[in-house]
Amino acid sequence: MSCLLFNLAIEPLAHALRQSTLRGFEIPGRPDRLITTLFADDTTVYLSKDDNYDTLAGILTMWCGASGARFNITKTEHVPLGPPEMRHELIRSGTIPQAQLRLPEGSKIAQEGEAIRILGAWIGNDIDATTSWRPLVAKIRENLSRWARRRPTLYGRKLIIGLELGSRTQFLTAAQGMPKTIESELVTLAMNFFWEGMGRPVVARASVHAPIKQGGLDPSPEVGVHSGCDVRESSRCKVGPHTTGRTEECFPTNMED
């Protein structure tokens, strides 16, 4: 019930942003501009270089006064998008030359190479594609170590690999893609767990991959890794950094209330 009530309470904010003079992002082929995305208590606003930050601040102040809510300014983050020289100037001075956009004093602005998390995905400029995967890989490694202490059977290990590697990697892979180095690391984790850390498997891989009727454990232990690859690919996945189109001189502002 609380989620439904919150949706009703925050809809006036979304409506005010849509009806405002803020330009936001204009996406080719889409009739409506992108001005905001909202999920639970996470709100992201998209501003162009021609937008006035005071306009956004006025809308937020009005909504907070009407709803009784309060945005957590300390968690509000700004991510510059556009040419490098524009991003560097915005980071340095908090403003874009020859534009209306000026951020409040002391605003948190993502630095070059710094990843900002928005709804589980990581965005930023010149970020390491593997950075967003490190916490998840560490979690999978920890869980596999905990499972190993229970000494499961080979079949149990296959199910655990599918649970830990397959299920946990689905979202992040679909959102950002899986770098080749991460895929290789997960395959190594899976095989070491499956064979209890043996350097050389005691059964040929082809036998393990064979159908169950032939004495194998089809699907293979790596099924967790493979099923975690880009869900948009029907064949063997092509891993790599997620790429997006170039957005001209604008930036998203991520806020939490």
| pLDDT above 60 for 252 | no
For the entire predicted model, the pTM comes to 0.66
The Cα-based distances of 68 to 60, 71, 76, 120, 257 in angstroms read 11, 10, 18, 28, 11
Instruction: Give the pLDDT score at 218.
Output: 61
Span 227-239, pLDDT tens digits: 444 433 333 333 2
For the stretch 68-105, pLDDT in tens is 888 777 778 889 888 888 888 888 888 876 666 677 77
Q: Where are the beta strands (DSSP E) in 86-244?
A: 108-109, 116-118, 121-123
**Is 225 in contact with 25 (CB distance < 8 Å)?**
no
- Give pLDDT tens digits for 130-164: 888 999 999 999 999 999 999 898 889 888 988 89
Evaluate whether 159 touches 223 at the Cβ level (below 8 Å): no
For the segment 174-212, what is each residue's pLDDT rounded down to a tens digit? Answer: 888 889 999 999 988 988 888 886 667 677 777 777 877
